[in-house]
Chain A
């Protein structure tokens, strides 16, 4: 059975809901080339990456904890954030129409894109209409997802990334490895090398002091800001009530792109809409503290359509579906769409910390990427689609759930995705989970450390809290009965407990071969 997809979709007859299509296969950056365990293996060999990542994630994490602890109403803000997102998803059609109406009233033009290909075509056409063959870009997940830069290049348009980290990644012909700090896998020596090689006319005496490297980027980009007539941005929030769009940033490159060019094109996923201007009071407290561990990021820009005499006089908003409606139709995907891309879940994830972002193969790495990517782009086939391996790229320790400012229960969503996948593929969740876990958690000590909270019990248990199947060697026993899942406990510590020991004895008594080997080494 195929679902209707792409620009050729016709309205046959109304009233019969069809499952909305996923992001089309083979376009954009929502699918890697290799399955997670395989890609992770390679990244694990990269000591530099692991050191950088370890330092970075621990440091952001400590700052985040200190600053969220500072607010006595942090939990109430999370509750509000979560509810606003639920409300948004429930009322998405009317909110999108309202946003469109308000943006149009204020002199902007709204475009709709069924998928990434269509969004890229719209942007390329708009750029061409201005007569420019280059654009400056604010860091944007949506255009990374659609592969906009590559498409523009194929149309003869040069896209200049202006976020320092995105610039480093772009100059090195590399891929981002983190939502917030995309070049975190590079150190200062590498960055100096990249600049010396790629920035025309740079001072050959440039050293590796970060302030000097940043100054070199400033000088290089300033000329682009002053001369480029078209900018492309994403949006952190779009307010339906007023038509206001917002970009949250640090460097001022966002302000430059949003202010100096004649034409501004903003690409926004349809899930980024918020009902009311007042809702920003919640998200402007949740986002910076969760993201960079700051009370507020240095700069936030808000604009509504076009303001005569101030900023771009030609404004276009591209509303992007690209699998979001498919996610919305699914209970799991719907919750994953609440994500505000703060990256807190990446920074607490033991699996991400070891593999880095590239192993996930998607614009969205880490715990939320493992949920969101298969929701947007699907999991095809049994074993050979890299996206099918993503729900297993987690130890389900629960840290991501605790960190998430909008309370997305990522571990439970991963468990449900595993169930969905195994139902289709016929493989066992345990086997795939073990393979992914083993790839990352080679040494039992590390593995144990990662299993701090809910642990492997959650890998295997559904949301009803029972284990329907135990891993080999206990599967013969569990085939015929349910085992209560050990909540808030690692599988290892559960096995070591009297209850676990009793289960093992029972399993052994029923004929499963007894082994001292823990199940993480298949």
Chain B
């Protein structure tokens, strides 16, 4: 009987372990920092510092002020047609006077290209690395193409969802959702190591942090 590739590879792996005499089980030393908590102001300061360092742009507001700030940010980019995930709180764009396009899986990617920008919520963030995590399965964050194709991404982050470090942030995610981790806008250093912002992903990342949520 001819073995399948699966059987062969698995047998080879087992043989290899037998031949190299099955090393003993190892304990994983997890002495690195986990479970960190930082007071609000410190987390906020760290997160803002790291976002700016990677060329993100930052705004602060209260929950009540969300609509005004979003309208102002979109206005600043002269954005007229803005995409949103189906589950985004409609109140957020109440002050925006342009066209709001609600995303759906039926809209082909080239049509997303015609949007001036996109507004989404976020799942969780990491202050130490300046990273925003999007959960594609959540109704207010939308499918992955929506935050990828348009050139401007405006992302609303609640301070209560900002964790100090990577372990704390990852622990709050649903692993099997489509996840996107974003640290600043798209960038390349492939030409003589000179950093250029904006290659294929959004050229501009605007993060609106709601400090009382």
Instruction: List A residues at the B interface (Cβ < 8 Å).
Output: 7-11, 17-21, 52, 55-56, 59-60, 72-73, 76-77, 79-80, 83-84, 86-87, 90, 92-93, 96-97, 106, 111-114, 118, 162-165, 168, 181, 183-184, 187-188, 191, 210-211, 213-214, 217-218, 221-222, 225-226, 239, 241-244, 250-253, 255-256, 258-260, 270, 277-278, 280-282, 284-285, 288, 292, 294-305, 307, 309-311, 319, 321, 325-326, 328-331, 334
Contacts and interface: CB of A to CB of B under 8 A. Distances in A.
B180 A251 contact: no
Query: Interface centre among B5, B17, B30, B110, by most A CB within 10 Å?
Result: B5
B176 A106 contact: yes
Nearest to B180: A301
B194 interface: yes
Interface string B34-48: 100000000000000
Contacts of B4: 112
B191 A270 contact: no
A328 to B, nearest CB: 4
Contacts of B2: 8, 10
A325 B9 contact: yes
B188 A301 contact: no
B69 to A, nearest CB: 24
B189 A321 contact: no
A218 B149 CA distance: 12
A55 B105 contact: no
A473 B75 CA distance: 78
B131 interface: yes
A76 B32 contact: yes
Nearest to A102: B176
Contacts of B196: 210-211, 214
A168 B185 CA distance: 22
Given A9-B8, A218-B200, A168 B19 contact: no
B186 interface: yes
Given A252-B186, A277-B175, A301-B179, A60 B193 contact: yes
A207 to B, nearest CB: 12
Given A20-B13, A76-B32, A80-B32, 16 more contacts: A18-B15, A118-B5, A168-B190, A210-B192, A210-B194, A214-B198, A222-B113, A226-B110, A243-B176, A255-B180, A255-B201, A281-B34, A284-B170, A295-B130, A300-B180, A326-B16
Contacts of A77: 32
Contacts of A294: 54, 183
Contacts of A295: 50, 53-54, 128-130, 183
A114 B26 CA distance: 28
B170 A56 contact: no
Interface in B164-198: 166-167, 170-171, 175-194, 196, 198
Contacts of A260: 109, 145, 148
Contact of A253 (B17, B19, B200): B200
Contacts of A270: 9, 13
Contacts of A288: 129
A328 B26 contact: no
11 contacts: A93-B14, A93-B17, A165-B190, A188-B191, A191-B191, A214-B188, A251-B201, A278-B167, A281-B171, A299-B183, A307-B137
Interface size class of B (residues with CB under 8 A): 35 or more
Contacts of A10: 1-3
A299 B180 contact: yes
Contacts of A284: 166, 170, 181
Given A112-B5, A242-B175, A242-B176, A298 B187 contact: yes
A302 B131 contact: no
A214 B9 contact: no
Given A10-B3, A181-B193, A310-B143, A19 B187 contact: no
Contacts of A187: 192
Nearest to B143: A310
B185 to A, nearest CB: 7
Nearest to A325: B12
A70 B131 CA distance: 17
Query: Interface centre among B7, B137, B179, by most A CB within 10 Å?
Result: B179
Contacts of B186: 250-252, 298-299
B91 interface: no
A237 B189 CA distance: 23
Contact of B29 (A7, A60, A79, A251): A79
Contacts of B145: 259-260, 310-311
B63 interface: no
A17 B15 contact: yes
A395 to B, nearest CB: 24
B199 interface: yes
Nearest to B1: A11
B85 to A, nearest CB: 11
Nearest to A16: B15
